[in-house]
């Protein structure tokens, strides 16, 4: 059972480039989340989607957009990457319970 | 200001020692979540609790709602317990994460 799958695992971008991080879950969960993790900062919520067709801003949404394509997929887009977006990105899902299931993470470097 | 504070930030223990990691939170919560992040980066859920105590193997989690405090205990620690332990407070639809406690268990 795959759980939460994130792609890619690693990415290097130049400043100004765009890219989309993909996330898919096969647990039929309603809620999906995007976090970034930076040293000394803990996990910070970028955007979340409580159900298919809805998205809401989290703590640090600036510079990002999201799409809840269907119940399974929740993508995170960087339209014009900046060095400050160098981070590890985690996607997570939950069935509206406190248990979240995390993907393996995407390590993004913006040069 | 962090809604969730963890201590200590770093912890080194000898194999076999009893370990305690603390988590204090300032928000009203519906549940508290303990996570383990492996050196490779993967995150797994350990416990979810909203009251009392839960035990799984050598891991024990407790929560005191009145004091807004939770602890994660590891008995008979082992080098494979080396990881970052993160507590997360759930309120509404959102989670607030501590910055994690990095545990190293030395053989």
pLDDT in tens, B19-29: 999 999 998 88
Q: Coil, strand or helix: which one is B81?
A: helix
Distance from CA of B17 to the nearest CA of A (A): 26
Distance from CA of B6 to the nearest CA of A (A): 10
Residue B42: pLDDT over 70: yes
Distance from CA of B12 to the nearest CA of A (A): 18
Instruction: Report CB contact under 8 Å: B48, A97.
Output: yes
Q: Give the model's pLDDT for residue B63.
A: 95
Residue A1: pLDDT over 60: no
Residue B30 and residue B50: Cα distance in Å, rounded?
Answer: 6
- DSSP string spanning B35-66? EEE-TTS-EEEEEEESSEEEEETTEEEEEETT
Instruction: Report CB contact under 8 Å: B94, A100.
Output: no
Q: Give the model's pLDDT for residue B106.
A: 97
Q: Coil, strand or helix: which one is B80?
A: helix
How many of the other CB atoms lie within 10 Å of CB of B85? 23
Best mutation target among A4, A32, A39, A43 (most B Cβ atoms within 10 Å) is A43
pLDDT in tens, A31-89: 999 999 988 788 899 999 989 989 999 889 999 999 998 999 999 999 999 999 999 99
Q: Give the model's pLDDT for residue B39.
A: 79
Say if CB A109 and CB A12 are below 8 A apart. Answer: yes
The pLDDT confidence band at residue A18, using thresholds 50, 70 and 90, is very high
Instruction: Report CB contact under 8 Å: A33, B88.
Output: no
Residue A2: pLDDT over 90: no
Instruction: Report CB contact under 8 Å: A98, B48.
Output: yes
pLDDT in tens, B52-106: 999 989 999 999 999 999 999 999 999 999 999 999 988 876 788 999 999 999 9
Which residue has 């269907």 as its token pair?
A: A70
Q: Give the model's pLDDT for residue A106.
A: 94
Best mutation target among B93, B96, B100, B101 (most A Cβ atoms within 10 Å) is B93
A72's tokens: 């399974």
């Amino acid at each position: 059972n795959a759980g939460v799958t994130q792609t890619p695992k690693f990415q290097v971008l130049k400043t100004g480039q765009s890219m989309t991080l993909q996330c898919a879950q096969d647990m039929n969960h309603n809620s999906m989340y995007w976090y970034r993790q930076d040293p000394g900062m803990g996990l910070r919520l970028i955007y979340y989607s409580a159900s298919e067709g809805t998205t809401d801003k989290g703590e640090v949404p600036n510079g990002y957009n999201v799409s809840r394509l269907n119940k399974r997929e929740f993508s995170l887009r960087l339209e014009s990457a900046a060095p400050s977006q160098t981070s590890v990105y985690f996607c997570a899902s939950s069935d509206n319970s406190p248990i979240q299931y995390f993907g393996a993470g995407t390590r993004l470097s913006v040069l | 200001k962090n809604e969730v504070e963890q201590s200590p930030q770093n912890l080194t223990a000898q194999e076999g020692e009893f370990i305690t990691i603390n988590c204090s939170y300032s928000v009203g919560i519906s549940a508290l979540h303990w996570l383990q992040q492996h050196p490779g980066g993967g995150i797994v859920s350990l416990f979810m609790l909203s009251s009392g105590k839960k035990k799984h193997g050598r891991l024990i989690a407790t929560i005191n709602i009145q004091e807004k405090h939770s602890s994660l205990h590891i008995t008979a620690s082992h080098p494979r317990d080396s990881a970052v332990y993160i507590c997360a407070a759930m309120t509404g639809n959102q989670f607030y994460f501590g910055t994690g406690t990095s545990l190293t268990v030395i053989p």
